Amino acid sequence: MKVFRANLMRLTRPPLPPQEKDNPVHVAIRDVHKTYGKQHVLKGVSLDIYRGKTNLIIGPSGSGKTVLMRQLIRLETPDSGELLVNGVDFAKLEGLDLAAMRRTFGMVFQMSALFDSMTVFDNVAFPVREHTDLSRTEVRDRVMDRLSALGIAGAAQKLPAQLSGGMQKRVAVARAMILESEILIYDEPTTGLDPITTEMVDELIVEAEEMFGITSIVISHDMASVVRIADHLSFLHQGEIAATGTPQELLHTEHPATAEFIRASRITLDS
Amino acid sequence: MPDAAPTASATPEKPSKLRTAARDFSEWLFKVCMSPFVEIGALFKLLWEALFWGVRPPYRGRLLVEAMEFIGIGSIFIISLTALFVGAVLALQLVDGFRDFGAESQSGAVIGLALAREVGPVFAALMVTSRAGSAMTTELGSMRVTNQIDALVTMAVNPVQYLVVPRLVAGFVMVPVLTMLFNVVGVFGAFVVAVSLMGLDPGVFMDRLKWLVDWEDVSQGLIKAMVFGVAVTLIACRQGFYAEGGAAGVGRATNRAVVQSAIAILMLDYLVTGLVLGQGLF
């Protein structure tokens, strides 16, 4: 029982040193490498993710964006390098420490990854039921509060399959935010969506950042989203960060691959 | 001026097509030969993970009840139906066969023995494979390819503990229960056919059945059923849990799960029988 209680405490206790909260760099990725067989996908990625900002990582298909995302949330372990989250090396954690640290992150998958056998309400309530001992009423209030804030309270009893792509994204964001995670990672959030829904999802990312003060990391190749929402932008090319800076800086970069990518997407700051 | 001497390092010698083909073939052959061992290793790894996570809190009773309902209650109809006809066909064959030797009175005993020791556990496990095992693989496979399992991980929920453990426990508990059901319905089917169609005396049928079949025979079948229950759910979960390649990949995983489960049931049947009877394996 004591072990159980101790484990539970470790899962519910915030694992982060409080002094790091003043550091503008929320996540520091340092020299991360990842290889699959003979394929060296990430070749020493180093990157700063800024606290309370919308940080976009862009790059062409096959550049390693999704692989980087999977290391960042520790769905996979990097071969080498550091993932410093509030100063703690996330890449070195194991077991319950890793589980506790994972609660710092919320993840919105490309296809939303909602549990299709559960209603919207149950999907959003899932992390709360798993990680807190709130009463049924408290869970309901918390979930409905979050659903209302994102404008989907009316869909609470629907199944994910009954929702549009945009609404599914909202539910995924609500689920990712319900434990008040500090960092939200969005993997290609606008891929496959129509322009209106794309704009809606972009607004949602900014809203989530403004309403809850969270740090957003958006993995994308949608340059229109870059112009709309990015505070900080990094260009991943062939497994390396080729350029990084504000959108203005990157739109005027002289780095050939980045410039070519931006030119091909026909995006200017005015647009 | 003399010509420059040709250097050996100018171009590395290209491997011939034949050598490349031979290397590819040997790699393929090695993979094919090793694949059963890789598969068995992966199954034991998953079993170990399930045991490790199964004893740790939190304990999700609701998921266990749901899995038991799915495997057990959901299979009652198909188990009863197949048991009825298996019992019936055993009666048709055995009463007819024994009649040639004037030993038809032993039919009930032999049918009971066959059902309790072999037919019951094997058929129940095969039916669970075809109904629940394939559905489990499809469900977990779909969850894998749509990132729902990754979503569990990102929410700090161990997917083996959440998805595999309840199914494994449910298989371990419910396949023996279904085996008992198979035995009872099978004997009933055999009784009906033997008595009403083949003209066997009902008293003789039941008396011989009680005389030959004892608790040891039934328990032998139940031990097998427990082993089959774990094997079937473990294979189904393993194939679904590590499915890849979209909808087609899930289809292939389901196919593999059913084939592997059927083979595993028949191989384990021999192994467990040898061990339980204490007669060795070879």
Give the pLDDT confidence score for residue B11 in this predicted structure: 58
Burial zone of A182 (CB within 10 Å; 0-12 exposed, 13-18 middle, 19+ buried): buried
| Mutation for A interface: B144, B148, B149, B154, most A CBs within 10 A | B154
Chain A within 8 Å of B150 (Cβ-Cβ)? Answer: yes
User: Residue B14: which pLDDT band, with cuts at 50, 70 and 90?
Assistant: low
ipTM: 0.82
Residues B67-94: what's their mean pLDDT?
95
Q: What is the pLDDT of residues A110-143, one digit of tens each?
A: 888 999 999 999 999 999 998 888 999 999 999 9
**B153:A103 CB<8 A:** no
pLDDT higher than 90, residue B19: no
Residue B124: its pLDDT value, please? 96
**What's the pLDDT at B134?**
95
Task: Assign residue B4 a region (left: φ > 0; alpha: ψ between -120 and 50; beta: otherwise).
Answer: beta
d(CA A254, CA A250): 8
Q: DSSP letter at B219?
A: H
Does B154 contact A73 at a Cβ distance shorter than 8 Å?
Answer: yes
Using pLDDT thresholds of 50, 70 and 90, give the confidence band for residue B282: low
CA distance B135 to chain A (A): 14
- The encoded tokens of residue B30 equal 């090695």
pLDDT on residue B102: 83
pLDDT of residue B10: 53
Residue B12: which pLDDT band, with cuts at 50, 70 and 90? low
> What is the arithmetic mean of pLDDT over B217-221?
91
**B contact residues 58-97, partner A, Cβ 8 Å cutoff:** 58
pLDDT confidence tier of residue B72, bands split at 50, 70 and 90:
very high
- Average pLDDT estimate for B217-230: 94
Average pLDDT over residues B112-141: 95
For residue B240, is pLDDT > 70?
Answer: yes
Q: Which of B57, B143, B154 sits opposite A105 (nearest CB)?
A: B154
Q: Which stretches of chain A sit within 8 Å of chain B by CB? A: 4, 7-8, 11, 73, 75, 99-100, 102-103, 105-107, 109-111, 113-116, 126-127, 130-131
- The answer to whether the Cβ–Cβ distance between A4 and B57 falls below 8 Å is yes
Give the minimum alpha-carbon distance from A44 to chain B in angstroms, rounded to a whole number. 24
Given a cut of 50, the residues of chain A with pLDDT beneath it are 1-16, 18-19, 271
Interchain CB contact of B146 with A (< 8 Å):
yes
Burial label, B45 (beta-carbon count in 10 A; 0-12, 13-18, 19+): exposed
Of A82, A87, A73, nearest to A21 (Cα)? A87
Distance CA A217, CA A49 (A): 8
- pLDDT, tens digit, for every residue of A172-197? 888 988 888 889 999 888 777 777 77
Structure tokens at A230: 């990015």
* B152: nearest CA partner in chain A: A127
